[in-house]
Amino acid sequence: MRKREVRILDGSTFVVSDEQGDMAARPDEPLGFFYRDMRHLSQWQLLLNGRPLDALSTDSIGYDAAVFFLSVPTGSIYANPTLSLVRRRFVGDGLREELVLQNFGTDPVRLELSLLVGSDFADIFEVKDHQSKSGHLYQHTDDHGLVLGYRREDFTRETYVRSSGAYFTSGSLTYRVHLQPRERWQADVEVTVACNGEHIDPKPRAAHHRPKPNMRRDLQEWVDDAPTLECGWDDLRHVYRRSIEDLAALRFYPDVVPGSASLPAAGLPWFMALFGRDSILTSYQALPFAPELAATTLRALAARQAHDRDDFRDAEPGKVLHELRFGELVHFHERPQSPYYGTADATPLFLVLLDEYERWTADADLVRDLREPALAALKWMEDYGDRDGDGYIEYQRRNTTSGLENQCWKDSWNSIVHPDATLASLPRATCELQGYAYDARRRMARLAREVWGDDELAARLEHDATELKRRFNEDFWVEETGFFALALDGEKHQVRTVTSNPGQLLWSGIVDDDKVDAVVGQLFSAALFSGWGVRTMASGQAAYNPLEYHNGTVWPHDNGLIAAGLASYGRRDEAIRIATAILEAAAYFDHRLPEVFAGYPRSDTRFPVRYPTACSPQAWAAGTPLLLLRVLLDLQPLGECVQSDHADTHLPPVFGQLRLSGIHTRRGRESAAS
């Protein structure tokens, strides 16, 4: 049986342990204490008199802290434990633990409490891909405690373990404790890190004995600033609160935009970094709830926009990055994520977010500031994104050793396949990329006319968008299935596999009105709609597997975009059906939507089935309930009212009276209700 993992995080720092609070990581599992893409502790095990303790209860007490209530096993159901230990853990550019030992017995006791300590200094990619290291590991004690280190040429990382009253060896620290009956003993352990000789100061502790999080606004300030949700569905209130808190946990301050507000990392444990697509879509989802995420994301991505062609990083002028990392493998150019540009969708989505941000905030200054990056992104779509001049965005990696083969949101190697499960040839033009490009042109036409004062550019973009829509509805439509093709392959043959990708075309607005009914019919067929959401691939397809990452699972963010698209085409009943299903599923995951869950039909399971390696928390999964609330209340960013006057917002009885107060809009704070 899989052991429960306890995860806490703060920016680029995170800790994953078991329910005792221990970490004894194998090389290929993400247990440990991580800082900026490297594991600084892989062993952290608490022993009392040489024996592990039992977990009585464990809980997170905020995204950056956890508490573990432990006891000494007696070996018999007839003997109750008299010794208990409370272990409180806090993270914030370092790690701090408070150990509190109590003797509830009637006799004095002498004890040895030890922490076994070690680090493999594994790069996050080494953990993920089961790679070995090539540098030099070392450890020693000094006058203050234990030092663990790793060196490879000019790259070093170090971990320092300090605690007053402990006896240190090269792999442990030990306390010798004498406790009288009812006596209480406490010790603090502090773990700090250094990168290339620069010591990182841990976040200072607040007056209430928790470290101040790695944020300019702490959790309570962040929660208080978010809109207030009132509804009759208790699960929805919990889901909303968890989403707001998870977005707070995933925030970090990018080095590329000094002095800026926060933006979202993609997800724990594998993706605690800036990701173009993920940060963009999460910021889009959260716009009326936390607009600062979008502003910082746009500025950070513009600051790292590619200016030259670099095949190792799949960079091309005007392209928006996919991923930015800081670990060892990136430092030595063994991995291209410094940054890596191997995605075809972040660039048009950057433009979509820029327009949506202005629609909600009226911040035309940012649109003016980012005019040149926006124009460069448009030029990339026309020159490099369209590799063969046929008007469609295609992708094929230039880095053939470590780049992503699929550079769309379904970026696993086997996600773009024909109905017989054979891989589509390269370059590939997936359908949703064309939808993003269409929407980006429409939106940039508006900004060109209303903000930049460039009517000529606006007219050209509107013409190009109209022509793209006309051609797309001809070239991608499959009469036999009454659905859009997943992609065009390298020979311009349709990839006719039935997937969720065409659902996102509704969100982009590229679907002709006469095809909407057929698209909606497919989305809600038993083959695509599991009852918990729309599957990434229809059951019955040769490559379908309810536990395959992109070939049969259900992704909350994908369903959120599909629901938003359905609502935009006036299909509100269907949009509410998806929203309700996804929110019902969230209740089974402790009210936290995971990155992805299995695609088994709801008729076979009374609960949604976990996907074994899903990120949790994950940014665009955390943002999905926020987008679904926008759908349920039909929130609109432009106009005199935040809510459409004509919208039919009657919801299923489970919601009760749904009201959202304090929504961030271009006119200030507003409210909306069903």
Instruction: Calculate the alpha carbon distances from 504 to 30, 37, 532 in Å.
Output: 32, 32, 17
**Distances from the Cα of 318 to the Cαs of 180, 315, 341, in angstroms?**
69, 9, 10
Judged by average pLDDT, the poorest of 20-24, 128-132, 206-210, 563-567 is: 206-210
> At 191, which helix (H) or strand (E)?
strand 184-195
Domains belonging to the chain, first-starting first, are 6-200 (2.70.98.40), 219-673 (1.50.10.10)
CA-based nearest residue to 52, from 116, 107, 101: 116
> Which amino acid makes up residue 648?
D
| Average of per-residue pLDDT across 113-121 | 96
Find the angle CA(562)-CA(567)-CA(571) to the nearest 5 degrees.
Answer: 100
Cβ(46)–Cβ(113) below 8 Å: yes
Cα–Cα dist 589/576, whole Å:
20
Peptide bond connecting 339 to the previous residue in cis, omega within 30 degrees of 0? yes
Answer whether the bond into residue 227 is a cis peptide, omega within 30°: no
Can you say whether residue 188 is alpha, beta or left, with left for phi > 0 and alpha for psi between -120 and 50 degrees? beta
**Range in 46-60, 74-88, 191-205 with the lowest mean pLDDT:** 74-88
- The answer, yes or no, to whether residue 205 has pLDDT greater than 70, is no
Length of the chain: 674
Count Cβ atoms within 10 A of the Cβ of residue 395 and give its class: 0-12 exposed, 13-18 middle, 19 or more buried: buried
CA quadruple 500, 502, 505, 510: dihedral, nearest 10: 180
* Percentage of the chain modeled with pLDDT above 90: 77
Q: What is the pLDDT of residues 446-486, one digit of tens each?
A: 999 999 999 999 999 999 999 999 999 999 999 999 999 99
Q: How many CA atoms lie less than 13 Å away from 64 in the CB half-sphere? A: 30
DSSP helix/strand/coil, 84: strand
Provide DSSP, 318-385: TPPPSEE--SHHHHTTSS--SSB---SSHHHHHHHHHHHHHHHH--HHHHHHTHHHHHHHHHHIIIII
Q: In the Cβ-directed half-sphere of 322, how many Cα atoms lie within 13 Å?
A: 20
pLDDT at 30: 86
CB 351 within 8 A of CB 332: no
Tell me the one-letter amino acid at 657: Q
pLDDT digits (tens, 9 = 90+) for 479-530: 999 999 999 999 999 999 999 999 999 999 999 999 999 999 999 999 999 9
Alpha carbon distance 356, 338 (integer Å): 28
| Per-residue model confidence (pLDDT) at position 640 | 58
597 in the Ramachandran plot: left (φ > 0), alpha (ψ -120 to 50) or beta?
Answer: beta
Q: What is the DSSP string of 263-285?
A: EE--BTTTB-SEEHHHHHHHHHH
One-character DSSP codes across 454-507: -HHHHHHHHHHHHHHHHHHHHHSEETTTTEE-SEE-TTS-EE---BSHHHHHHH
Q: pLDDT at residue 103 above 50?
A: yes
- Alpha-carbon distances of 122 from 139, 155, 172, 337, 456, rounded to whole Å: 15, 13, 20, 16, 53
pLDDT of residue 17 exceeding 90: yes
* Cα→Cα distances 264→143, 289, 618, 623, Å: 39, 14, 9, 10
Q: Is the dihedral of CA 26, 27, 28, 30 positive or negative?
A: positive
Confidence of residue 537 (pLDDT cuts 50, 70, 90): very high
pLDDT at 28: 78
User: What share of residues in the chain are helix, strand, coil (percent, to 5)?
Assistant: 30, 25, 45
Which position has the higher pLDDT, 399 or 280? 280
Cβ pair 305, 377 in contact under 8 A: yes
Hey, what amino acid is at 229?
Answer: L
In three-state secondary structure terms, 560 is: helix
Residue 649 has pLDDT above 70, yes or no: no
Query: What is the distance, to the nearest Å, from the Cα of residue 487 to the centroid of all Cα atoms in its chain?
Result: 26
Q: Among 60-64, 239-243, 450-454, 568-572, which is the least confidently predicted range?
A: 60-64
Confidence (pLDDT) at 209: 41
Can you spell out the DSSP letters for 14-64? EEEE-TTS-EE--TTS--EEEETTEEEESEEEEEETTBPPEEEEEEESSTT
Q: Tell me the per-residue pLDDT of 152-175, one tens digit each, with 9 for 90 and over.
A: 999 999 999 999 999 999 899 999
Q: State the burial class of residue 363 (Cβ atoms within 10 Å of its Cβ: 0-12, 13-18, 19+).
A: middle
| Average predicted confidence (pLDDT) for the chain | 92
d(CA 76, CA 87): 24
Q: Span 60-74, mean pLDDT?
A: 85
What gap in Å lies between CA 373 and CA 321, rounded to an integer? 12
Neighbouring CB atoms inside 10 A of 638's CB total: 13
- Confidence at residue 647, expressed as pLDDT on a 0 to 100 scale: 55
Identity at 364, one-letter amino acid code = A
Provide the pLDDT for residue 601.
96
- Specify the 3-state DSSP secondary structure of 140: strand
* pLDDT computed for residue 481 by the predictor: 94
| Three-class DSSP category at 654 | helix
Within 10 Å of residue 201's Cβ, how many Cβ atoms?
9
CA 196, CA 135: separation in Å to the nearest integer? Answer: 14
pLDDT at 71 over 60: yes
Segment 257-272, tens digit of pLDDT: 776 678 888 888 888 8
Helices 619-632 and 572-587 pack at an angle, to 10 degrees, of: 140
Cα separation, 299 vs 112, whole angstroms = 53
